[in-house]
Structure 1
Amino acid sequence: MIPVPSPEVLVEALASTRAAAAAYHTNLFLNLDQIAGWFAEGGLAWMRGPGAVLVRQREAGLDRLFHAATCPGALAEALARLPEPPRTQPWVSDLVGRPEALTDVAGIYAACGFRHHRSLLRMIRVGTPLPAPPDPSVCDEALPGQADAVVAMLRRLLDPLAERIPSPREVARWAADGEMLTVRRGDTLAGMLAYHVQGRSAHLRYWHVDPRFRGGGAGSALLRTFLDRTRGCTRQTLWVLAHNADSIAKYAHYGFHMDPAVDMIMVKGAAGPGGIA
């Protein structure tokens, strides 16, 4: 792969691929501003071939892979040319859609050496009455200077192959935009919640509490504050690990229900045994 020359060139290549599509498929759903943010952080590379574009976003310890292809055959040919990853820097690709629509694409990835690591399920909240108002004294507006502490907590709690860990720069931007909340216990970060509002939709990006402080009301305060802040939105969405029954039950308690979409995480080159659904 070679470095992406500019965000504009990449966006144009994706658009021309789609225009020439017989059976277009992609897992890259970003606009120019979002791609520009990745470009500014470095590590954005691509490989362009007949009927397909592969894009790599480098993160610490893994390479995220995105594709845009005119048809299944073009995707298969592109993935076959992909270099083998070192075991310390695996390829990770998210395939998003309805399960029945992902069967063929997941099969192409599997034929090229990828394995199914985890699945995420989408949950949605539409028109559900708000819970009791949150206590405004519990949560604080996150500050950009807290970005390193937030990222450090997420690295302790998350499986980076299944749940993308944001960069400190991204987290600082969310805080500057007023789309992140924190709860502190003394000088310690006890919990955080990040979200994004676009139009009349709100997406819950992250909601996590340090295990040492669970059961003390931090998680409830964060989620209630999020729901209160986004009460003008017509829907709120999130992704949750399919095997995390505890989190699914918590979200259901706050009025979220399952949506048909799934995110199948395909991995190539990671050490250890295969994942689970």
Structure 2
Amino acid sequence: MDNLQSINEIQTLIQQIRDKKKGFVTNFFLDNLKHSFWIRHNSFFYECFGDCFLLIKRNESYSYLFFISTDIYSVMESVSIFLKKEPGTYVVDLVGNEFILPLKNKFILAGFEEYEVLYRMNRIGYPNVSFPISENIKQGELNNIKEVKELLNFYFDPLSEQIPSEEELIHFVANKGMLLYKKDDSICGFIIYELIGATLYLRYWFVVPEFREMGVGAMLFNAFMHEGILSKRQMLWVISRNENAIKRYLHYGFIPEKLYDYVLIKK
């Protein structure tokens, strides 16, 4: 395996596969910010297998596995060779509609297990906002990052929910993308989001257990929608078995899409 050195290098790998003009299959979606952090920390690698590049993001106890290839056969052949050479725990995300199922089944046959399924929900139109916004809602600041990161690490699943790094949280704070509900200087809940163009993306929404059923989540969500008051579309991903969350999103006018994220794992 070789270290990835830059975003340009990743783009070159993608272009090399496209230039073969044999087809294009991938589960990798370039995120300049996130992947720059991975590169900076020397935790992002790649290996070439002819018509397929495998990208590997190393973590302490597991690795994310991505592929950029001309076809499914080359993907599975490359994955098989790689896993024999580099044993460990690997997580693969497969994002798509029902046409992604044949690829998912091939990974299952290769020894991966379905760990989690998420699907996307969206809402079209300007947000509905109630006024006034609670005085307990505050913009996240740099000195809140440590506590928010601890809550994310404790309550969220790193395999399926891709917990942001401290550097990513700094980015969210710098771009006014973190809202906190605070009471007596304690963080009772938070929402992390991005506004890109006319689309408002909900990334993480959390209320500390002892403050649930007190309207904290609703006040956070209302403030979140207010931050994106001029957005024309709001989007999020939800775990398919999280019925309580799905009910809340339906209540707020979100509808499910036929776009799925299959999280597969091989130990």
Structure 1 length as normaliser, TM-score? 0.90
Query: What residue is the counterpart of 2:47 in the other structure?
Result: 47
Q: Deviations over 1:175-194 (max 9, x none)?
A: 11111111122232211111
Query: What residue is the counterpart of 2:233 in the other structure?
Result: 235
Query: What residue is the counterpart of 2:169 in the other structure?
Result: 171
Query: What residue is the counterpart of 1:97 in the other structure?
Result: 96
One-letter code aligned to 1:225: A
Report the CA distance shift for 1:154/1:33 in structure 2 as closer, same or farther (over 3 A). Answer: closer
Larger mean Cα displacement after TM superposition, 147-156 or 125-134: 125-134
> In 1, Cα distance between the equivalents of 2:19 and 2:244?
43
> In 1, Cα distance between the equivalents of 2:154 and 2:207?
11
Query: What residue is the counterpart of 1:273 in the other structure?
Result: none
> In 2, Cα distance between the equivalents of 1:134 and 1:81?
59
Query: What residue is the counterpart of 2:204 in the other structure?
Result: 206
Q: Deviations over 1:111-143 (max 9, x none)?
A: 322111110010001026504235241211001
Matches within 5 A, 1:150-165: 150-165=148-163
One-letter code aligned to 2:148: V
> In 1, Cα distance between the equivalents of 2:74 and 2:132?
51
One-letter code aligned to 2:110: C
One-letter code aligned to 2:185: D
CA contact (8 A) 1:131 1:254 kept: no
> In 2, Cα distance between the equivalents of 1:138 and 1:198?
26
Query: What residue is the counterpart of 2:216 in the other structure?
Result: 218
Structure 1: runs of 5 or more not aligned = 270-277
Report the CA distance shift for 1:178/1:128 in structure 2 as closer, same or farther (over 3 A). Answer: closer
The structural deviation recorded for 1:231 is 1.9
Report the CA distance shift for 1:134/1:103 in structure 2 as closer, same or farther (over 3 A). Answer: farther
One-letter code aligned to 1:116: E
The structural deviation recorded for 1:174 is 0.6
Query: What residue is the counterpart of 2:2 in the other structure?
Result: 2
Q: Choose from 188, 193, 196 the match for 1:195.
A: 193
SS of residue in 2 equivalent to 1:171: helix
Larger mean Cα displacement after TM superposition, 140-149 or 120-129: 120-129
Is 1:143 matched up with 2:122? no
One-letter code aligned to 1:58: R
Matches within 5 A, 1:8-19: 8-19=8-19
One-letter code aligned to 2:248: K
Q: Deviations over 1:187-214 (max 9, x none)?
A: 3221111111111111111001111111
CA contact (8 A) 1:145 1:172 kept: no
> In 2, Cα distance between the equivalents of 1:111 and 1:224?
45
Query: What residue is the counterpart of 2:263 in the other structure?
Result: 265
Query: What residue is the counterpart of 2:36 in the other structure?
Result: 36
- Tell me the matched-pair count: 265
SS of residue in 2 equivalent to 1:102: helix
Larger mean Cα displacement after TM superposition, 117-126 or 35-44: 35-44
CA contact (8 A) 2:37 2:167 kept: no
Structure 2: runs of 5 or more not aligned = none
One-letter code aligned to 2:44: L
Structure 2 length as normaliser, TM-score? 0.93
SS of residue in 2 equivalent to 1:81: helix
The structural deviation recorded for 1:105 is 1.4
Give the alignment's Cα RMSD to 1 decimal: 1.7
SS of residue in 2 equivalent to 1:18: helix
The structural deviation recorded for 1:68 is 1.1
The structural deviation recorded for 1:21 is 4.3
Query: What residue is the counterpart of 1:274 in the other structure?
Result: none
Larger mean Cα displacement after TM superposition, 155-164 or 258-267: 155-164
> In 2, Cα distance between the equivalents of 1:185 and 1:85?
47
> In 1, Cα distance between the equivalents of 2:183 and 2:62?
33
> In 2, Cα distance between the equivalents of 1:196 and 1:59?
25
